[in-house]
Structure 1
Amino acid sequence: MRSAIRRTFLRRPSTLAERNFVADALRTETVGGALLLIAAVIALIWANSGWSSAYEDLKNYTVGPEALHLNLSLGAWASDGLLAIFFFVAGIELKRELVVGELRTPSAAALPVIAAVCGMAVPALFYFAVNAGGDSLEGWAIPTATDIAFALAVLAVIGTNLPSALRAFLLTLAVVDDLLAIMVIAVFYTEDVNFAALGIAAAGLVVFYLMQRHRVRGWWFYLPLALAIWTLIHESGVHATVAGVAMGLLMRVLPDEDEKTSPAEHLEHVVRPISAGFAVPVFALMSAGVAVSASALADVFTHRMPLGIVIGLVAGKAIGIFGGTYLAARFTRAELNEDLAWADVLGLAMLAGVGFTVSLLISELAFEGEAGMTDQAKAAVLVGSLLAAVLASVLLRIRNNKYRALVAEEDRDDDGDGIPDIYQQDADAARQEKLRHLDG
């Protein structure tokens, strides 16, 4: 018996249990954001080391079937292919918000949607103002994006006592922001469109929708179709990440009576670890490797194009999101969640200035073929995102401490009777009021 116990105690955990533990960890914003940050730091160190040529060689190494026009560099595979996985998860999140979440009613959806729109418009206006009369106006969309993974990771780390409504507000805002960013990419950063390929891809999306509606099950049906849709959209000239968000929006989010979970929830549960643990970190590794020197950092604050990006991310996002939310709550029927204060919204608005993933993607698209401009834009994204994260962290940490003090006060039990004193004080006050009334 003792030997059996010993064998059980010393037995190595099963591979399945280990995989489940890792996958569950990757589903948390903190771990996904940490991997994203680590990959970006590695890319920066690598690109600025003596092995920078090896980094460039890796990023430019081509692989893939040339007959399908998919003989792409690893950097292109990361931005076109792996980010499609990220946007697929974002599309599912948005679909869930539209059907059962914060966006299911117009009144509930109004504030985060208005915040997202204003949070994209104002940074673009700041960029135009700084670059007026210049030749870099094509970079206007770079400071308009919010990085879901990074922003939620920062909020998860520093906001342990912040209201849960703040996370829901940020998630809804960021998902809408990313959807709008994809629309911007499709409309403004697509030059030549192959309408035949795009039409066949649209037909494939219709088939995808019908399969969902008629409860077709089995990954062996969906995976080849998804790959075909992605390939066709890539061939059309529209950025291939559109395929990911489109299929995510077509997923069924309500479970049938015989289902424990909906297909959207099940697939998100499966795909999110791949997105957070592989797709997004690899994209960051391939995209964040910018040669940074003292002169390059100085260029960020002395050249109009990168300065416009930094101002857009740090000031434009904060002013746009906070101002849009306040004006909407002031002059429309939209209402701020009763659990939130305006100081919370300001901290969230500043945190939305972390534009990392999508901003890096747009930097590559806006200045395609202009390596110097692309590097300047990426350096500005890194600087702006870092400044926004630091400023937001300071404010949200102050708010978090305030909420923690409120929770501690509510839980205080000086007499040790197991009942928080605040409830006894209310009862005592009511009892005294009743006695005064009777005496009167």
Structure 2
Amino acid sequence: MPATSSARLFGRGSWSEASRIASVLRKETVGGVLLLIGTVVALVWANSPWAGSYESLRDLRVGPSSLHLDLPLGTWAADGLLAIFFFVAGLELKREFVAGDLRDARRAALPVAAAVGGMAVPALLYVLVNLGGGGALGGWAIPTATDIAFALAVLAVISTHLPSALRTFLLTLAVVDDLLAIMIIAIFYTSALAVTPLLLALIPLALFGFLVQKRIRSWWLLIPLAVVTWVLVHESGVHATVAGVLLAFTVPVVRSQAAGGPDAGPGMAEHFEHRFRPVSAGVAVPVFAFFAAGVTVGGLSGLTESLTDRVALGIVVGLVLGKAIGITLATWLVSRFTRAELADDLSWWDVVGLALLGGIGFTVSLLIGELAFGTGSERDEHVKVGVLVGTLTAALLATVLLRARNRIYQRMELEETSDVDLDGIPDAWDDVDDRPGNRAARPGDTPSGGATRPFADS
């Protein structure tokens, strides 16, 4: 039976959701450029005659020793600044589940399946490459991550006009990817668990949640509670970035109508996202990249030597082949079992191009590498080389493929931006917002977009 017009992969969502995604991606693109700058500066410095000063700066310890927080600057970047990154990722994830594409099981099936496939296949290929590798299997999760900021920076550099549906899919996939990554970090990279600090962390976490549910925005209340939660999670042995996700999950996405009438507006999540996304994309991730990416390559011979280590080789294979196979295969399976066809003008080459972009795994990959093998260890250095080579290879292959399709993307972009009737909404979306399951959540909508009822804060 042929697919109907509603059974389409990468079909347009609502205009409100598309415009919101476009705004988010613009901020992430700027952050991605800053990330690239931080990475290049770190690599140049670490391979210059002044490499010792870079290592001294990265290893400089600051913080109160009485609280076990006299940490190197590199660790502060990984444990502290990335907690902000995961806080923003948690806000985006909750919003997607409460009011975005992930609230509709049919629309969520594709990015969730693609994210799972894009993590399972790279992990499997890494394990196959490193069987019998003497402790190397601990890095199995390194090639599973997708760095949305880096991917968007690549799109900005190659100036491809990727359609809104593909950009939305890429962002949603990366959000689900972040959730799976934080679960992997919490479950598989917690070496020693101290239960008491973890239980105590629930107290400031609950107080933080209570205040944000009441829409209290006082920074002098919320920030200390967030910091105390972070410290206690850090002391528990669970990676401190988990605190960022837990805090984000307490923040309401939609505001209770009972509190403000039918036009009560969005919840606190949007407020926090506007405040903290620029900090995450513009400061937290680039600074982490600066401290994490500074590996001494040692010229072409040193690069070749690093890549002969099966850890680095497994990462490259996982990021390039694993992501491409996993995401494409998962998308094909969704198409096969739902009998859905690709949206008009799109082909499976577009899916492969997106899958290669998913192989740009940088920030979280470097973080997992440090957790797996220890900061500054020889294998950690090889991890950095593998992540850099794998990311650059995936980016180059994606560039070739997506640029070859750019003429089609330009035509699709023209259709998506044309507004002949001058109503402020492009004509391509005139018949989309009112379709069941396609509208973005508005005050009074039910999660399925049906009859209205009051939303509780959630």
Same structural fold, with TM-score higher than 0.5 when normalized by the shorter chain:
yes
- Partner of 1:62 in structure 2? 61
Contact 1:26 1:32 in 2 (8 A): no
Work out the percentage of aligned pairs sharing the same amino acid: 60
Superimposed CA distance per residue, residues 141-179 of structure 1 (whole angstroms, 9 cap, x where no aligned partner): 110111121112323444653210101101111011111
Distance 1:329 1:286, change over 3 A: same
Distance 1:333 1:248, change over 3 A: farther
Letter in 2 for 1:74: L
Letter in 2 for 1:152: L
1:379 maps onto 2:403 in alignment: no
CA distance in 2, matches of 1:231, 1:326: 44
Give 1:397's match in structure 2, choosing from 403, 423, 440.
Answer: 403
CA distance in 2, matches of 1:160, 1:382: 22
CA distance in 2, matches of 1:254, 1:47: 46
Contact 2:121 2:326 in 1 (8 A): yes
CA distance in 2, matches of 1:341, 1:260: 39
Superimposed CA distance per residue, residues 220-264 of structure 1 (whole angstroms, 9 cap, x where no aligned partner): 221111001000000001000001112122211113554554311
Distance apart, 1:272 and its partner CA = 1.2
Distance apart, 1:351 and its partner CA = 0.4
Superimposed CA distance per residue, residues 282-338 of structure 1 (whole angstroms, 9 cap, x where no aligned partner): 101100000012222112432211101000000000100110111122024677556
Superimposed CA distance per residue, residues 11-58 of structure 1 (whole angstroms, 9 cap, x where no aligned partner): xxxxxxxxxxxxx99962221111000000000000000110000000
Once the two structures are superposed, the pairs formed by residues 41-440 of structure 1 within 5 Å of their partners are 41-135=40-134, 136-158=136-158, 160-256=160-256, 258=260, 259-293=264-298, 294-332=300-338, 340-368=346-374, 371-405=377-411
CA distance in 2, matches of 1:315, 1:240: 31
CA distance in 2, matches of 1:27, 1:382: 24
Letter in 1 for 2:277: R
Distance 1:383 1:225, change over 3 A: same
Distance 1:25 1:242, change over 3 A: closer
Q: Which has the larger radius of gyration?
A: 1
SS at match of 2:146: coil
- Partner of 1:415 in structure 2? none
Contact 1:108 1:334 in 2 (8 A): no
Distance 1:279 1:406, change over 3 A: closer
CA distance in 2, matches of 1:296, 1:357: 23
Contact 1:252 1:262 in 2 (8 A): yes
Moved more, 25-34 or 293-302: 25-34
Aligned residues: 389
Distance 1:250 1:402, change over 3 A: same
Moved more, 376-385 or 269-278: 269-278
TM-score where L is the length of structure 1:
0.83
CA distance in 2, matches of 1:141, 1:409: 40
Unaligned runs of 5+ in 2: 1-22, 419-458
- Partner of 1:435 in structure 2? none
CA distance in 1, matches of 2:247, 2:320: 32
Distance 1:234 1:399, change over 3 A: same
1:33 maps onto 2:39 in alignment: no
TM-score where L is the length of structure 2:
0.80
Unaligned runs of 5+ in 1: 1-23, 413-440
- Partner of 1:18 in structure 2? none
SS at match of 1:103: helix
- Partner of 1:9 in structure 2? none
Distance apart, 1:410 and its partner CA = 11
